[in-house]
């Protein structure tokens, strides 16, 4: 059974860089994309971006200038970096596996395996 | 970006009753919509994709319908474990976007 284990610093000061890593256990790395999603306290989910197994990235425009998602295939890990953080970046950050496929006229895309989440607080 | 709007924000339902949750997209997303369930302190769990296809292991009491801009998740005969927050997400366009969530609470 595939599991994602995530880790990284939980307390940052404004202007620092958020760094989180997610390791994939018990499953294939190829054939999937890998995504980061965050949830500010008491709010909904925000898609940050994703990386395909081939290394192609997509980011949400509001964060694109500050975010990098990268992949280490040898370690079966993917990472999130968010630069110049502010209090608005305080959130629980989740990593997740994305399955996508298309056949006939259907296109399916969903996050089917999630990490447990990492609480990141930005405070001076 | 496609804005997803869920209603109501909170739904109070008695166990055994039906819950109907709505999700509206600011532009057509075809059937490219997923629903997730999230319990406090946990990661979201996939319920529905393709607007109406239940994910593996999801009970038949969860039903999704809709296409274009209007979607509904119905939970027939709510069980105690169904009280949670439900999120819709479109995957028709980049960036992927979520609704703000509907909390289903015990009445």
* Whole-number Å distance between alpha carbons of A45 and B85: 11
In the numeric block, which tokens belong to residue B22? 């709505």
Rounded average pLDDT over B49-64:
97
Res. A14: pLDDT tops 90 = yes
In terms of Cα–Cα distance, which of B5, B34, B2, B3 is closest to B102?
A: B5
* pLDDT level of residue B80 (50, 70, 90 thresholds): very high
* Whole-number Å distance between alpha carbons of A10 and B20: 37
Which residues of B are less than 8 Å from A46 in CB distance? 98
For A43-83, write each residue's pLDDT tens digit.
999 999 999 999 999 999 999 999 999 999 999 999 999 99
Q: Does A98 touch chain B (CB under 8 A)?
A: no
Cβ separation of A116 and B43 shorter than 8 Å? yes
For B16-42, write each residue's pLDDT tens digit.
999 999 999 999 999 999 999 999 999
């Amino acid at each position: 059974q595939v599991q994602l284990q995530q880790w990284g610093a939980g307390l940052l000061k404004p202007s620092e860089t958020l760094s989180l890593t997610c390791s994939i256990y018990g499953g294939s790395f190829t054939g999937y994309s890998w995504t980061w999603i965050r949830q500010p306290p008491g709010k909904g989910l925000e898609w940050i971006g994703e990386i395909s197994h081939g290394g192609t990235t997509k980011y949400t425009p509001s964060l694109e200038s500050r975010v990098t998602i990268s992949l280490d295939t040898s370690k079966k890990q993917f990472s999130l970096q968010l630069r110049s953080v502010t209090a608005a970046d305080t959130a629980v950050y989740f990593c997740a596996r994305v399955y996508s496929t298309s056949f006939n006229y259907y296109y399916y895309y969903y996050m089917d395996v999630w990490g447990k989440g990492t609480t990141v607080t930005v405070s001076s | 970006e496609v804005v997803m709007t869920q209603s109501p924000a909170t739904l109070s339902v008695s166990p055994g009753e039906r819950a109907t949750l709505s999700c509206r997209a600011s532009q057509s997303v075809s059937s490219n919509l997923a629903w997730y369930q999230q319990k406090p302190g946990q990661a979201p769990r996939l319920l529905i994709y393709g607007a109406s296809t239940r994910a593996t292991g999801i009970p038949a009491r969860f039903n999704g319908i809709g296409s274009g801009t209007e979607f509904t998740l119905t939970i027939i005969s709510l069980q105690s474990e169904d009280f949670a927050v439900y999120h819709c997400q479109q995957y028709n366009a980049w960036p992927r976007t979520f609704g703000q969530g509907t909390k289903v609470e015990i009445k």
